[in-house]
Amino acid sequence: MPRTADAVAPVAAAAGVSPEATDRAVVYAVRAKGRIEETTVLALRSLRAIAATIVLTHPGTLSPEHRTLLAGLVDDVLETEAEQFSSTSYAAAVERVRRRRAQTTEVVLTGDSWFGPVSDLDPLFQRMADTGADVWDVVPPAPPRESFPEEGFPGVADRPWFFTVVRREFFTGSAWTRWWAEQSQPGERERSFASYVAAAGARHERAFDTERLHANDPALFAPEDLLDIGVPFVDRAVFTSYPPFLDRFAILASEIADMMGERGYPLGVLRSSLASCMPPKALNTNLGLLSVLSDHAVDAESGSSLSIAAVVHVSDIDEVDEVLRRLQFLPPGASVFVTTTEGVTAARLERLLEAWATTNAHTYELRVTPQSPGRDMADFFVGCRDILQSDEYDLVVKLHMRRAPWKTMNRLRYFRRYQFDNLLSSPGYVRNLLALFEKEEKLGVVFPPMIHIGYATMGRGWAMLQPHAKRLAKRLGIRVPLDVISPLAPYGGMWVGRPAAFRAMMTRRWTFADYDWRFQRRFGHLAHLQERLVSAAAGQAGFYCRTVLNHAHAEISYTALEYKVDQLFSTTRGWPVEQIRFLHRAGYTGYGGTVALARMFLRVNHPGVVDTFRPFYRLAWRGFRVVSAVRRFTSRLRTERGEKDQEASS
C-alpha cells in the first residue's frame, strides 16, 4: 500500500540514501499495465540510493504481488485509469511529491524506457549540481521511431521519459503549471520540453555532449558511444526493436549487452525481463542467443552437479541403439525414462535397456503409455508429468525415436543427425551445453535452431496453428507476445530444459484424450502446438531460450541459409527490412497464378480496394475450402467402395 509521509525518512535511511539526496524525489513511470519487470526492480534499487522519495506511476491497478515486490523501493504509487503510460501522469505524481515532502529541491522524471544503471549515479548528480540549470537531462529525447505493426512491432506513441531533472525553482512556478495545462500530442511533451523551458526564460542543460555521436537519436543509434562517455543507461529500444531494422543500422544488441555486463550489470536479469515481454524469436535474434559449441569440453566437470532426467519416447526400436549410445554422453547418474505405446515394443526395449544399463552409471525406468496421436509430446506432458512437476531434477532432456514413413531416407537421416548432433554430439559437447545452464540461471530451454535443409519450415513455422496458439496461450495465462511469422521453437520436439520453464504449460492438466483428432477444433494439432509454445511458456516463467549448433552443422546451415536468402532477395530492391515489408505488404503469392498476382498488385498499389473486397474474398475462400473438402471426402468414399468391390469379387 502507499506509504504515509512519516514513513519516507525511515525508508530512505534504510536504503542508504546519501545526505545530498535527502531532498531529491524520483517519479518513475511504468509503460504497460501489469509489467513490473526484474529490470525495473533493479533500477528502483539504484534510484533509491539517490532519492528520499520515489513515486511510481502505473497504468491501472497494481496487483498485490507487485506491491509486495516494490515494498521498500517506492514510497507511493499513482494508479492511472489509462491502459498504457501517459506523460500527463508526471504532473499528478509531482504534485504528490510536493504534498509528501515540501522541501523537495529537485524531481527526476524517468521510467522503464531504459535499462541500467550500469554505474553509480552519484557522480552524475554531483557534476550537474554546479551547473545552475533549472532543468537538465541526459540525452536528447527520442524522435518518432519507425514502426512495424504488421511484423509485430507497433510504434509507441508515448513512452516514459528517459531521464529529466526539474529543480524546485521551475516545478513550483507558473511556467510548470502552464506547461501541463497546454494540449500536446502523445510523445511530444518530452521532445518539446527543453525548448519550452528556454522560452519560459529558464535554463536547460544536457549532461552529455551527444551531437558529435548522432544528431537525431543517439540513444538508439550510438549506444556503445554513450556507454563509453559515461552515460549509465541504455535505451530499451536497442534490445526490443524489429530485428531487420537493427540489422540495417548494424546495431548489435548482443555486444551492447556484453558492454553492460562488463560494467557489472546482471545480464541474466536483462534477458529474463526481455523474455517476458518480447517475441521469443526476436529476442533470440537481437541478443544473439545462438551458441556454437565445441566437441572438446572447456571444463571436464561441467554439469556434474546437475541432477538430470532424460525422457525418451521410442516407437522405432530398430534405431534405438543410436539414442542409447548418445545418452551415455550425459554425466553419470542420469535418470532415463523411456516411454512406448506397444507391449511387444516394451518387451524388446526392456531387454535392451537391461543390457545397456550394465555398461553405464545411469538408471532407467520403462513406461508403457496409451496409443495417442500426441506421440512423444503426449508422453512428455502426460506420461511424465510427475517428472516435470518434481523438484528432484535440475534439467530434463527430451528425445524421441519415432517412425516417419512419409519422409525420404535422406530427410530422415539428416533430421536425426541435426537433432542428436546438436544436443548430444559428444561427451565434451554435452559438458559444454550443460555449462550454459550452470553459468546462466535464467536459461530455461536449449534446442537446435529451426531446421531448414530438407524441410520447408521457414516462413511457415506456425503451420497454420497461430490462432490456436493465441487461444491456448490466453487459457494458460501466457502473456509473452508471440512471433508473427515463425515462432522460436524446438522443431522436431527435442530439447534440454529446466522443469520450471515448462510450469506455465502445465497449468492445465493434460490428458491423452486431449491429443485426439476429434479435438482439433479446440487445440489444432496439440502436439505441434505445444512444441511451438515452449519458448513463450518459458518466457512467462522468466526464462529465456538458447539455440545451439556444433561446428559441423554451423558450417552446413549457415552456407545453405546465406545462399537461399541471397536468391530470395534477388528480385526486390532495398535493404532487407524494406524488402521484407514490401513482400509482407504484397501478401501471399500462392502459386503465382493470375489471381494471386492480381491480388498482390492491388494490395501494394490499391490497399483501399482490397479492404473493401476482403470480406467477399474471405467468403469465397471459405466456400472453396468447403467444396474442396467435400470433393476429397467423396473421392475417399469412392476409393473405399472400389476396394470393397474388388475384395468381394476376388
CB contact at 8 A, 135 and 193? yes
Instruction: Give me 507's grid cell.
Output: 497449468
Which residues, listed in sequence order, are joined to residue 107 by a DSSP beta bridge? Answer: 25, 166
582 band by pLDDT with thresholds 50, 70 and 90: confident
Predicted pLDDT of residue 188: 87
How far is Cα 28 from Cα 89, in angstroms, rounded to an integer? 10
- How much is the average pLDDT of 282-296? 97
Q: Give the angle 162-166-171 at the CA atoms, nearest 5°.
A: 130
CB contact at 8 A, 539 and 275? yes
Q: 225: buried, middle or exposed (CB in 10 Å: 19+, 13-18, 0-12)?
A: middle
- Answer with the one of 209, 239, 254 that is the final residue of a domain: 209
CB contact at 8 A, 434 and 332? no
CB contact at 8 A, 243 and 576? no
pLDDT at residue 410 above 70? yes
CB contact at 8 A, 123 and 42? no
Looking at the structure, do residues 554 and 594 belong to the same domain, yes or no?
no
More confident residue, 184 or 555: 555
201 band by pLDDT with thresholds 50, 70 and 90: very high
93 torsion bin: left (phi>0), alpha (psi -120 to 50), beta (else): alpha
Pairing between β-strand 135-137 and β-strand 290-293 as defined by DSSP bridges: unpaired
**Is there a domain that residue 5 lies in?**
no
Place of cell 555486444: 255
pLDDT at residue 649 above 90? no
Looking at the structure, do residues 304 and 365 belong to the same domain, yes or no?
yes
Residue type, 628: S
140 torsion bin: left (phi>0), alpha (psi -120 to 50), beta (else): beta
Residue type, 512: F
Residues 6+ apart with CB under 8 A from 125: 20, 21, 24, 50
Predicted pLDDT of residue 92: 93
How far is Cα 53 from Cα 519, in angstroms, rounded to an integer? 55
Question: 257-264: which pairs have CB atoms within 8 A and are 24 or more residues apart?
Answer: 257/287, 259/224, 259/227, 260/115, 260/116, 260/118, 260/227, 260/234, 263/118, 263/119, 263/227, 264/118, 264/119
Looking at the structure, do residues 592 and 540 belong to the same domain, yes or no?
no
How far is Cα 565 from Cα 605, in angstroms, rounded to an integer? 26
- CA dihedral (634, 635, 641, 645) positive or negative: positive
**Is there a domain that residue 392 lies in?**
yes
642 band by pLDDT with thresholds 50, 70 and 90: low
How far is Cα 407 from Cα 505, in angstroms, rounded to an integer? 30
Which residues, listed in sequence order, are joined to residue 292 by a DSSP beta bridge? Answer: 549
How far is Cα 547 from Cα 552, in angstroms, rounded to an integer? 15
pLDDT at residue 6 above 50? no
Looking at the structure, do residues 96 and 152 belong to the same domain, yes or no?
yes
Predicted pLDDT of residue 228: 96
Residue type, 154: P
The DSSP 8-state label assigned to residue 310 in this structure reads: E
User: 428 in helix, strand or coil?
Assistant: helix
Instruction: List alpha helices for 165-262, DSSP H.
Output: 168-171, 174-181, 188-199, 218-221, 223-228, 237-240, 243-248, 253-262
Residue 359: φ, ψ to 5°: -105, 0
CB contact at 8 A, 359 and 350? no
How far is Cα 38 from Cα 28, in angstroms, rounded to an integer? 15
- Answer with the one of 183, 209, 235 that is the final residue of a domain: 209
101 band by pLDDT with thresholds 50, 70 and 90: confident
Looking at the structure, do residues 147 and 43 belong to the same domain, yes or no?
yes
Looking at the structure, do residues 547 and 594 belong to the same domain, yes or no?
no
User: 139 in helix, strand or coil?
Assistant: coil
3-state DSSP of 356-420:
HHCCCCCEEEEEECCCCCCHHHHHHHHHCHHHHHCCCCCEEEEEEECCCCCCCHHHHHHHHHHHH
Looking at the structure, do residues 505 and 606 belong to the same domain, yes or no?
no
Looking at the structure, do residues 594 and 492 belong to the same domain, yes or no?
no
Looking at the structure, do residues 459 and 339 belong to the same domain, yes or no?
yes
Residues 6+ apart with CB under 8 A from 200: 175, 179
464 torsion bin: left (phi>0), alpha (psi -120 to 50), beta (else): left
Averaged pLDDT score across all residues of the chain: 89
- How much is the average pLDDT of 576-598? 80
More confident residue, 384 or 624: 384
User: 593 in helix, strand or coil?
Assistant: coil
Q: 279: buried, middle or exposed (CB in 10 Å: 19+, 13-18, 0-12)?
A: buried
How far is Cα 48 from Cα 24, in angstroms, rounded to an integer? 10
pTM score above 0.85: yes
Looking at the structure, do residues 381 and 514 belong to the same domain, yes or no?
yes
What pLDDT digit, counting tens, does each position of 326-371 carry?
999 999 999 999 999 888 889 999 999 999 998 899 999 999 999 8
**Is there a domain that residue 453 lies in?**
yes
Closest CA to 327 of 375, 380, 363: 363
Looking at the structure, do residues 194 and 321 belong to the same domain, yes or no?
no
pLDDT at residue 179 above 70? yes
Predicted pLDDT of residue 12: 41
Length of the chain: 650
Predicted pLDDT of residue 530: 95
- How much is the average pLDDT of 511-540? 87
More confident residue, 640 or 630: 630
Q: Percent of the chain scored above 70 by pLDDT?
A: 94
How far is Cα 7 from Cα 100, in angstroms, rounded to an integer? 10
**Is there a domain that residue 608 lies in?**
yes
CB contact at 8 A, 540 and 504? yes
How far is Cα 368 from Cα 341, in angstroms, rounded to an integer? 5
**Is there a domain that residue 492 lies in?**
yes
User: 422 in helix, strand or coil?
Assistant: helix
**Is there a domain that residue 75 lies in?**
yes
Q: Percent of the chain scored above 90 by pLDDT?
A: 67
CATH code of residue 367? 3.90.550
CATH code of residue 139? 3.90.550.10
Looking at the structure, do residues 486 and 607 belong to the same domain, yes or no?
no
Number of domains in the chain: 3
Range of the domain at 130: 24-209
Predicted pLDDT of residue 164: 97
The DSSP 8-state label assigned to residue 480 in this structure reads: S
Residue type, 583: L
**Is there a domain that residue 268 lies in?**
no
* 148-152, 229-233, 541-545, 637-641: least confidently modelled range: 637-641
pLDDT at residue 569 above 60? yes
**Is there a domain that residue 569 lies in?**
no
Place of cell 518518432: 144
